[in-house]
Structure formats: C-alpha cells, structure tokens
Structure 1
C-alpha cells in the first residue's frame, strides 16, 4: 500500500485535474482571473523600488501565467491551504531541506514576496484526465542576492541528496529513493531540472522539478501525475519564464 503522502498526492492531482477540466470546458469568462489577480502596469512596479528590492506578493501575482497565456492547460490560483501545507515541508537530512522545499513549492530562504498557481495539462479525452500532469508553480522574490543564494542552495542539495532522503509535509512522510538530472532547461539567468523518484512498496512515483532564476525572482515548477509518472512541464516553464522577462 502506498504511503499516506503518496496517496494524498495522487488524489489531489486527480481532484485538481477533474476540477480544472470542468472549469476549462465551462464558461470562458473565468479566463485570466483563475491564474491570479489582474496584471498591474509593469512600469509602476519597477519604479516603486530599486532593482535590488524584491517584489511584493501582489506584484508577483501579476507575473503568474494566466489561462489565456496557457490555453493547453487549465489554470487556477493556489489556495491558502495548499500554501500552508507547502510551507510545512521538512526533511530527515538538513542538507536536503532546500530541495524538499522546492519540490513542495515552499519558499527557499527568506523571500519578501510569494505567489502561486496550478496548471493541469488538458487531456484529449475525459478518460485521459486521470493521467494528466499537474504542475504547481511558485514565484518567490528576494532582496539583494537572496535569489542567487536560494538557487545555489537547491543545486547543492540536489547534489548532496542524489542518493535519497525522506521528505515530510503536513505530518506525512515520503521516502525519495533517488534524485537524477532532468531534461536540460534553458530559461532565465540560470535553471535546474531534476526528477525525484519515490519507491513505495514496489511502486514508483516521480516528481519533475524545475527551478528557474530570473534576476531576483525564483520560479519553481513541481509536476506530478495521478499515474505516478509525470512529464516535465516544458510549455508551462517556457511561458512562465518568458513572462518574467
């Protein structure tokens, strides 16, 4: 039997897939609003603070990919409960914590602003929804060199913890058997891609993780699938990264 965390991840992915598919097939009026707030003029945001200052939550929400920009997916904003669960991420190995946080789309380091959304790949049929990849997208902005430090800590953790670790979230735990490099990603100022493989009672479940840094913003993409084998969300990463400039 799969661990509680694995079951919950699969059930959540299934539920999100079904809800978002229903939304995508309904009224088109939901459009951009499901991805966050209405964008604000970028010029005003940039002139409000020096370049070294991080962006606020509201400014980051305006930078999240929207439904109109990602028509191949159904998009909705992350809920407060999902953000709270992500923030509880922990690890049995301190050196692995930055990687576990990134995998859970929890903030790495100390950002001054955060925002998140979810995107599920639209299947070609209703039957295919249970195998759709669900991608959690998190943006975090930092003062000074905070983004560079956060990115470096995830990279170091992936190297140190390639042989595995145990991650935890909201009281449940999951044993990661290994972390291997994912398909190379070219985006932002620097990017990382990994596949975290869990082996639970003979069943394998993978999470595709992509971390992109653009200036003082870190964009994290964590993709799972009810089938247990997620695909790297290339289209989501490309469109979101372009929106960061």
Structure 2
C-alpha cells in the first residue's frame, strides 16, 4: 500500500517552504471528613465554567510574523482546514493524533486558528559560487515546516482533548493508519519526544511514518494553556524534523 497520506504531508512541507521563501497533573489537601459545624461554601464562590473563544478571537492569538522575526509564516487555507477535519484513522483512539498533525482541533472546539511556519534560511554570501547557492536553497527546502493549530473550548474541553492525546500516545505506540481525501498513510511508531515545559501541561511525541519505504519522523508537541490547546506538527523533507522550540515558545507566550 502506497503511503500517499504521509507522502502528501511531506510534500506539503516542501510547498510550505517554497511558498514562504517566495514571500521571503493535581493533588488534594483534604484530610478526613469536614467538621459538622464547618460552614458550607457559598454557591457563588464556585468559579464560572470557562467560555470558549470564536474563530475570529483565536485568529488574534495565533503567532504572526512579528512574533517570529527569524521565521516565515503563511496562514493555512480553508481547504487545508477542511482536509484536516475530514481525516480519519483505522483506530478511533488514534484519531486525536491524526487531527493534531492535520491542522484540525482535537475534540469539540468553539473556535480555532491555523498557520504554517518555517525558519528563515541562511542567505549565501554575496560572492558564493553557483554550487553554494544551490546548496543553500536545498538546505532551505529541508528546513522543518511546522503546522500550528490553536483551539479554544468551553468548560473542561481543553483538558479532555489533552487527555485524549495523552492516552493516544500510549494506545497508538505500535502504529496506526491515517486517511485523508482518499490517501492512506502508515504510522509505524509513536514514542516520547524531547520533554517540553510550557503552559499548564505539555506533551511531546516523535511520530514515525513509512512513505513508500522512506522513514519520516514528525515532531508533535501539544500544549494546554487554560482552556486553549495548541498543537505543533513539524515535518521535514530530510526525513527527520527538529522540534519547533522557538515556535512553541512564541505561541505559548502569545496565549498569555
């Protein structure tokens, strides 16, 4: 079976690079039962349930060019968002991972925004040879392209989405298939990535795929901040992407 889903993801990373270059857990302190004469907490003291933001509101908090001057940014298209929303998996428990890699919110979000980011390439010297210029261009194409999605939820929705991604990392460690627009790809392994400390909770995975015999590793980072969930999926034509630390840091900072 041709892993066209995975291949398309990598080719999308190439297209992102080209397009951008062209535009140059908790604890309790309870100790036994409460005393009979202890006053009951007033109903009004309970914090109101979190209210999710809209698409327009999320568009204002996703990273922009000014937030990452050393990177190039291009907003995701509606078609890309639709493809991500329609992606499926042969294992329902793995669908959160598929969506996190496909510019789609995990779970039921009230609003979301998406963008694509790639690091600016190093410019060749003014007196660089033709070969050096070609090498610089190829290095630029091999840079990790990161798909960023920020999604907002009502109530505990972000916690639930984060928990689903955490559970999927274990349940889907041995692999799964993902399908989008008729293209199917084989994910062979999901393992822990380099730990990330950000937001209120964070996860990091290395997702290994097999695209027509070629091994490709995607770096997937998930960060929850309040009732917002941010996902970062980095892929490279070189086959092994780098974890997008600068992008994660800038996005989490913007979430407040």
- Give the TM interval when normalised to the shorter protein: 0.7 to 0.9
3-state SS of 2:84 partner? helix
1:204 to 215, 225, 232: 215
How far apart in 2 are the matches of 1:242 and 1:154? 22
What are the superposed Cα offsets for residues 139-164 of structure 1, whole Å, 9 maximum, x if unpaired? Answer: 11000011001100110011111011
**After TM superposition, where is structure 1 displaced by more than 6 Å over at least 4 residues in a row?**
none
Calculate the TM-score normalised by the size of structure 1.
0.86
Measured after TM superposition, the shift of residue 130 of structure 1 is 1.6
Measured after TM superposition, the shift of residue 201 of structure 1 is 4.0
What are the superposed Cα offsets for residues 71-124 of structure 1, whole Å, 9 maximum, x if unpaired? Answer: 111001110011011111111011111121112231211110011111011222
Please give the residue correspondences for 1:58-73 in structure 2 after superposition, counting only pairs within 5 Å.
58-73=56-71
How far apart in 2 are the matches of 1:59 and 1:171? 32
My pick for the range that moved more, 171-180 or 196-205, is 196-205
2:189 to 178, 196, 213: 178
2:107 to 83, 106, 109: 109
Tell me the equivalent position of 2:176.
165
1:226 to 237, 242, 246: 237
Tell me the equivalent position of 1:88.
86
Please give the residue correspondences for 1:29-178 in structure 2 after superposition, counting only pairs within 5 Å.
52-124=50-122, 125-178=136-189
Tell me the equivalent position of 1:29.
none
How far apart in 1 are the matches of 2:60 and 2:19? 23
Tell me the equivalent position of 1:13.
13
Larger Rg, first or second structure (1 or 2)? 2
Tell me the equivalent position of 1:42.
none
- Unpaired segments ≥5 residues, structure 2: 25-47, 123-135
**Aligned-residue RMSD, C-alpha:** 1.5
Change (3 A) 1:195 1:227: same
Measured after TM superposition, the shift of residue 2 of structure 1 is 5.7
